[in-house]
């Protein structure tokens, strides 16, 4: 039973990892769009963030799942469920990460930009060398929160029929008439989040060599 749950958990981990790989960089692009001085782009980003944060992720999965069929008439397969899940998770989490990035970037004092500008750093150099490292330190607690939420949110994939750990647990609970599979699934989530918490703690300690 634990073996089956573990296999399911590997799928959950895939959703988790692919979501991070996609949404961490996409969030940065959205954050830049949101802060753009080109108003239509900023407005578009605001709208995007508002939709992503303002509607349930579960609905977004279904919407993305059915779009290819209704719009392009493409026949849906089992694979489409998987792709829809990953795309929905990526675009949804990118919106949350974008807002965290934005809060971090905007919290860096003007003086840092001005000092860099006077020294002749280009805009890219200023961002990469001066701003970003300070942003990482400032947003660590918020990012840890979001990543921990993501671990648990992977269970939403069950609603569309992706066979991840929660789906397996539900099937086991039904077939064995026992709540134990749920308890074991909970333990998997919890232990994995303990690891994330420990890792985040290590990173935060590493970045505590300075304060500002």
Please report the DSSP string for 118-176 in residue order. Answer: HHT--HHHIIIIIIHHHHHHHHHHHHHHHHHHHHHHGGGGGGGT---HHHHHHHHHHHH
133 touching another protein, by CB under 8 A: yes
Q: Which is nearer to another protein, 3 or 111 (CB)?
A: 111
Q: Which is nearer to another protein, 116 or 172 (CB)?
A: 116
123 touching another protein, by CB under 8 A: no
The one among 17, 74, 117, 197 contacting another protein by CB under 8 A: 117
109 touching another protein, by CB under 8 A: yes
Q: What is the rounded distance in angstroms from the CA atom of residue 106 to the CA atom of residue 35?
A: 9
Q: What is the rounded distance in angstroms from the CA atom of residue 179 to the CA atom of residue 187?
A: 13
118 touching another protein, by CB under 8 A: yes
Contact 96, 22 (CB under 8 A): no
127 touching another protein, by CB under 8 A: no
How far is the CA of 106 from the CAs of 3, 125, 127, in angstroms? Answer: 46, 17, 12
140 touching another protein, by CB under 8 A: no
**Residue span binding another protein (CB under 8 A) among the ranges 11-19, 43-51, 155-163, 204-212:** 204-212
34 touching another protein, by CB under 8 A: no
**Which residues of the chain form contacts with another protein (CB under 8 A)?**
109, 111-112, 114-121, 125, 129-130, 133-134, 137, 209-212
């Amino acid at each position: 039973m634990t073996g089956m749950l573990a296999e399911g958990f590997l799928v959950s981990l895939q959703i988790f990892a692919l979501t991070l790989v996609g949404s961490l960089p996409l969030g940065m692009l959205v954050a830049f769009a949101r802060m753009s001085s080109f108003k239509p782009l900023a407005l578009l980003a605001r709208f995007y963030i508002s939709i992503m944060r303002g509607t349930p992720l579960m609905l977004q999965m279904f919407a993305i799942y059915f779009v290819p069929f209704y719009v392009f008439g493409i026949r849906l397969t089992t694979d489409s469920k998987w792709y829809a899940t990953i795309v929905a998770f990526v675009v949804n989490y990118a919106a949350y990460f974008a807002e965290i990035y934005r809060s971090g970037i905007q919290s860096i004092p003007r003086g840092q930009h001005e000092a860099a500008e006077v020294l002749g750093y280009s805009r890219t150099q200023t961002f990469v060398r001066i701003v970003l490292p300070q942003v990482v330190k400032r947003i660590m607690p918020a990012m840890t929160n979001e990543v921990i939420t993501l671990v648990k949110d992977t269970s939403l994939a069950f609603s569309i029929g992706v066979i991840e750990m929660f789906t397996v647990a539900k099937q086991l609970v039904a077939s064995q008439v026992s709540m134990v599979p749920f308890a074991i699934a909970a333990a998997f989530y919890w232990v994995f989040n303990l690891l994330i918490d420990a890792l985040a703690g290590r990173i935060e300690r590493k970045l505590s060599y300075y304060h500002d």
